[in-house]
Amino acid sequence: MTSYITNTATGQTQMGSQPKPGERLLQSAGYTHLYQIGSAADLPSLGSSPTVGTISDYLFTKTGKTGTTDEDVSDLIDTKDPTKLAYLGVQQLLAGRIPDNIEMIGNLLSSLGKPIDDRKMLLEDVVGWLATTGRSRHHGPNSFVNGVQGQFINLLWGDLSHPPTVTLAPEHRYRSADGSYNNLTGFPMLGAAKQPYARSVKPLHAHAPDVAEPEDFFDAILRRKPGPHGFKAHPAGISSLLFAFANLIIHDLFWTNNQPDPDSPMDNKPNDDHAKQDQTQKKPAANDPPKKRGRSKQWQNLTSSYLSLDPLYGVDQTEQDRVRDYSEGNLGRGLLYPDTFASSRLLLMPSASCALLVLFCRNHNRVAKKVLELNEQKRWNPNPSEIRTTEERKKQDDEVFGTARLVNCNYFVQMILHDYLQSILGSVQADSDWSLDPRTQIKTLLGSTPKAVGNSVSIEFNILYRWHSCLSMRQTQWLEEKMSKGLPSRKWDDLNEGAFMRAMESLMKELNAGAGTDPRNWKLSKYEVTPATVGGAETVEQGTYERDPATGKFRDEDIARILRDATYDVAGAFGAQHTPAVLRWIDCQGMRTARDVWRACTLNEFREYLGLKAFESFKEWNSDETIANAMEDLVGHPSNIPLHAGLHGEESKAPRLGAGLCPGYTISRAILSDAVALVRGDRFYTDSATADALTDWGLNDCQPDPRDGSYGGMLQRLIINNLPNQYACNDVALLFPFMVPKTIYQILTDISPQKALKYSLNLQPYAPIGFKTVQVSPDRKLICKISGEASSIYEPFFSNSY
């Protein structure tokens, strides 16, 4: 290697063939070139060592070249600042100052990616080096020392938030009803309800003049073939309950305002309260001509952009007040009305999503009662009736409610990070409790990753989360049954807005959830399928699940039945030609909005935004020749593939470790980025997630336990805490509810047959009367399953035996 050396005696630069002190270390690491920049006058003299001389600031590059020319310089120079503090040790190696600074160099290099041990006096050593090296020897600035000093200042600056992301203002301690003030750094309305959608990708690709209509895309690319043979079960055995949970996330983040703009010259009527948009307004009949409408307000998102359980708590104070228990005996306790939730939108879907909301409602009340009972900071009165004024009781009610909501939402996000992402990534296959946790502090010598900055969901992800292909056979049958109330012919190509609205109004009436109804009186839809027995036929029981008139609650057995049925019900696969025909009108409306209102980017533009390779051929997008040819006929060139049909018609991943959800390749990449942004950007999951806000008990209550048999899952804890005695504690349907029991049991068997023996598996869903736990000794429990005919006893594993 050729190296450049400046002789301090002559001031001339010469080339030497032997590596200088420290160069051998770099060469052994694969660095084959050193390139000199700057001036020798900027660097300290090494004293009486003319053979080594003064070494300038070096940039390093791993290349295969053996010399440099002017043309090579741009290839060799790193665009990053060469004087990062982390490189100080390497500079010292090159400068031959190893004996003087060997301890500082060792401490610098060993501190990379770790907290700095201040007992090693690293900061003092760096300050001493700067003071010694920066000693004035000439009149000009010392660019080398100034560069290192700049990085040292960056390190100190990065220790603190600028501006601070959290304040002690009481009004910012809890989540606001509409999601505002999540960001406290100058954008209080960022991500709040009724704010505009964001746009992630700048669309630059010209729209092709003869692109097909949405109905053409649906029929050629997305439509599921009729009958059982058209259904493809999820290849990784994902259960329908995972998509019921995904429904909570999607409806927590997205609610497009489909009402006309009140300022439109075509319609100057005042806009109705958005709480009445739960599919309850009168629409024209199927054969009525469409009414003139004003410009759409579909640019507006009516819910917040945060994972804050808005379907449970509401999107504003008006919705929230409908479910909060302000009754005389409970004001001051921060409770919700039993088994209620604010949004009726989820009633229009299979009932597993609503059953999960019921559990979250119960969990809120459980937490509220506990934090008030413990009263850790002694600022509340556990007996609110003793509080003198209604105003003071209301203040305590708000504080207890806000605390319980913070804990409950932390349950929600823990389920997303553990149960949900665990299934999406298939990490159980590795016998691992690892989870992707975006909340962690990320700080290195090169800077820190921002957090608690807020969030605003975008139109691109609104389009991405339309996972209609994953409806199971049973869910599709339920949906067709409900839609037939608006279109008795069941000719789904004829479904339009009028027929859709009639069907939804019929369902809402059946569930006692029409406009202006009290959430305390809403029912849940029943669709119980009993598998066929030998010599018998499958039976279906339809109707509604009723509330207990005395308590206002649903029966535990009914909620457990809904959840268990969804766990045993295998979901549909992602991909082309798998969206049920009954959803044709809904999907086409979504495609038309993306094209005409949002002017969304193309699939390739979205992929490039994510750092993915753009598709150059249709077979690269989907290797199925039939699908690829159909898309080519519709758009002509891969760059014209629209985002909606492109995302949901793309070839899906095969199941493997790291790919448990098996969506299309682009969706697979995007949902991880979205999960990180949603969680890391929310200050209530990062900087404000403190024991002061959640209480010591609350913060501990929502932490996962990797020893509980579910690899740190939290949904099983939500179920156990709020549906006592409905599951055996080692039932795979409880511990891994997002996987079909037979599939997850096989995965556990593949990991270790001995491990699988610790779990119980029932091949068919069943509805026992309940379970009873018997503590027979301090370290031994028996779980008794109670049925109508006999009792069987199970001895479960223990939490420390995994």
Instruction: Determine whether 131 is exposed, middle or buried from the number of CB atoms within 10 Å of its CB (0-12, 13-18, 19+).
Output: exposed
Q: Which residue has the tokens 């200042």?
A: 153
The Cα–Cα gap between 336 and 405 comes to 10
The Cα–Cα gap between 760 and 780 comes to 17
Which run of H or E residues covers position 529? Answer: strand 524-530
Q: Do residues 702 and 407 lie in contact, with contact meaning Cβ atoms separated by under 8 Å?
A: yes
> CA nearest 315: which of 505, 176, 460, 113?
176
> CA nearest 522: which of 503, 547, 501?
547
Q: Is 711 a catalytic residue?
A: no
**The one catalytic residue among 58, 465, 545, 727:** 465
Side-chain-side CA neighbours of 664 within 13 Å: the count stands at 26
Q: Do residues 402 and 174 lie in contact, with contact meaning Cβ atoms separated by under 8 Å?
A: yes
* Helix, strand, or coil (residue 89): helix
Q: Which residue has the tokens 């932390």?
A: 410
Instruction: Kindly give the residue spans of alpha helices, DSSP state H, lying in 416-485.
Output: 421-425, 459-464, 473-483
Q: Do residues 270 and 499 lie in contact, with contact meaning Cβ atoms separated by under 8 Å?
A: no
Instruction: Determine whether 776 is exposed, middle or buried from the number of CB atoms within 10 Å of its CB (0-12, 13-18, 19+).
Output: exposed
CB atoms near residue 212 (< 10 Å): 18
SS (H, E, C) 158-219: CCCCCCCCCCCCHHHCCCCCCCCCCCCCCCCCCCCCCEECECCCCCCCCCCCCCCCHHHHHH
The Cα–Cα gap between 626 and 222 comes to 12
Q: Do residues 284 and 291 lie in contact, with contact meaning Cβ atoms separated by under 8 Å?
A: yes
Q: Do residues 431 and 202 lie in contact, with contact meaning Cβ atoms separated by under 8 Å?
A: no
SS3 content of the chain, % helix, strand, coil (to 5): 45, 10, 45
E-state strands within 546-681: none
The Cα–Cα gap between 387 and 698 comes to 24
The Cα–Cα gap between 413 and 432 comes to 19
Q: What are the Cα distances from residue 460, in Å, to 203, 208, 301, 305, 465?
A: 11, 20, 13, 14, 9
Q: Do residues 200 and 460 lie in contact, with contact meaning Cβ atoms separated by under 8 Å?
A: yes
Q: Do residues 730 and 709 lie in contact, with contact meaning Cβ atoms separated by under 8 Å?
A: yes
The Cα–Cα gap between 570 and 471 comes to 9
The Cα–Cα gap between 742 and 744 comes to 6
The Cα–Cα gap between 64 and 33 comes to 9
Question: Which are the catalytic amino acids?
Answer: 465
